[in-house]
Structure 1
Amino acid sequence: MSAARTATVHRQTGETNVKVSLDLDGKGKGAIATGIPFLDHMLQQICTHGLIDLNIQAQGDLHIDDHHTNEDVGITLGQALAKSLGDRKGIIRFGHFTAPLDEALVQISLDFSGRPYLVYGLDIPTQRVGTYDTQLVREFFQAVVNHAHITLHIRQLDGINSHHIIEATFKAFARSLRMAVEPDPRQIDVIPSSKGVL
């Protein structure tokens, strides 16, 4: 396993300019500015509860809407996760967590399988939280899944408040991510797959 599990990815298109730097073995520090305040708040949950240091700076065509920036932040974060893990040798690989937030309860299970697959089971009752379009939650996680090459199951067990449901999702994702990327002391030099590759 590499001593430094860090990565920096820069993605620039005609719609967005996104730079993500991360340290999987950080202290939970975040420097996040996407231009989308609610997304910034959710990304901070990944830092705080995943103990991942994240620097995310994004500029996008927000005069149109938040879609391109939201998706491209997810893409770039997924690429940075994949890059920081390399061949995924020595990690736990699987992570799961169920996070409560008041009346909301969300379960996450994930696998750094090398196979992108999203099962999305949120039922968010409102179209917006503040100015944030709640349809973009799925788009964000689909982008992360596709580019980190993970299998991700999101299941809402309870909840009626949109903010609580989404925040519980990001907290559960953070804790699951933290579990999955932790070094496994029993197989520190082994890729955790019977195939020998992920």
Structure 2
Amino acid sequence: MARKSSIKRKTKETDIKVDLTIEGKGKSNNKTTIKFLDHMLDLLAKHGLFDLKVKTRSLDKDQHHLVEDIGIALGQAFNKALGNKKGINRAGYFVMPMDESLAIAAVDIGGRPYLKFDAEFKDKAVGGLETELVEDFFQGFVNNLQCNLHIQLPYGRTTHHRIEAIFKSFSRALSMACEIGRIKDKIPSTKGKI
């Protein structure tokens, strides 16, 4: 059975719909009104082999609300698609070079939200995306998937490549954590639930 979900999030600030298939083929159709964020979500789908469709409208024209709410809705979509988390690897990690940039991501879908985001960007915006909002996107995601996520970017020159390396390493780590592992029919926790 394919693990999929559909989430609709509408507030006074944003209107968002996310369709997700975890066992996908890397297909994406993302229309967030922010071209660079669309590109990053396309990378998430492609490198994680998720099928992902994100459609949004900003009702108050504030990019902060839109980017954070996309992270929230995406975290909710993964949480719903994973259900009781039976059989998943739970943890995943990946080191991704992107030309001169290197990003490290480690995730644990263990029911406890925590984000450690160790990355800096010299440009205030890239491709229409305010770079300070990248961390807010991941915080929204982490809070709603209920996972630990550590992202580290030890070096890189261009802001575009820095953010791209982060999204690629994150997608591969998340894919690894979501995969059904050797424990197929058990919850991956000594507590018996996540």
Same fold per superposition (TM over 0.5)? yes
Q: Secondary structure at the match of 1:9?
A: strand
Asked if 1:92 corresponds to 2:84, the answer is no
1:17-166 equivalences in 2 (<5 Å): 17-61=15-59, 64-166=61-163
CA RMSD of aligned residues (A): 0.9
Distance in 2 of aligned mates of 1:130 and 1:108: 23
Partner deviation per Cα, 1:67-118 (whole Å, 9 max, x = no partner):
1111111110000000000110000010000110111000000000100000
Q: Which amino acid aligns with 1:22?
A: L
User: 2:184 aligns to what?
Assistant: 188
Partner deviation per Cα, 1:51-78 (whole Å, 9 max, x = no partner):
000011000136x331111111111000
Partner deviation per Cα, 1:118-161 (whole Å, 9 max, x = no partner):
00000111111132110010000000000010100001121121
Runs of 4 or more, structure 1, over 6 Å off, are: none
Contact 1:18 1:56 in 2 (8 A): yes
Q: CA deviation at 1:4?
A: 2.1
Q: Which amino acid aligns with 1:119?
A: K
Contact 1:116 1:150 in 2 (8 A): yes
Number of equivalences: 194
Q: Which amino acid aligns with 1:51?
A: L
Contact 2:15 2:59 in 1 (8 A): no
- Identity percentage of aligned residues: 46
Q: Secondary structure at the match of 1:166?
A: helix
Distance in 1 of aligned mates of 2:128 and 2:21: 30
User: 1:171 aligns to what?
Assistant: 168
Partner deviation per Cα, 1:38-63 (whole Å, 9 max, x = no partner):
1100000111000000011000136x
| Structure 2 gap ranges (5+) | none
Q: Secondary structure at the match of 2:188?
A: coil
Distance in 2 of aligned mates of 1:107 and 1:12: 33
Contact 1:61 1:68 in 2 (8 A): no
Distance in 2 of aligned mates of 1:65 and 1:166: 21
Distance in 1 of aligned mates of 2:62 and 2:10: 17
Residue 13 of structure 2, aligned match among 12, 15, 23: 15
Distance in 2 of aligned mates of 1:8 and 1:183: 21
Under a length normalisation based on structure 1, what TM-score does the superposition of the two structures give? 0.96
Q: Secondary structure at the match of 1:46?
A: helix
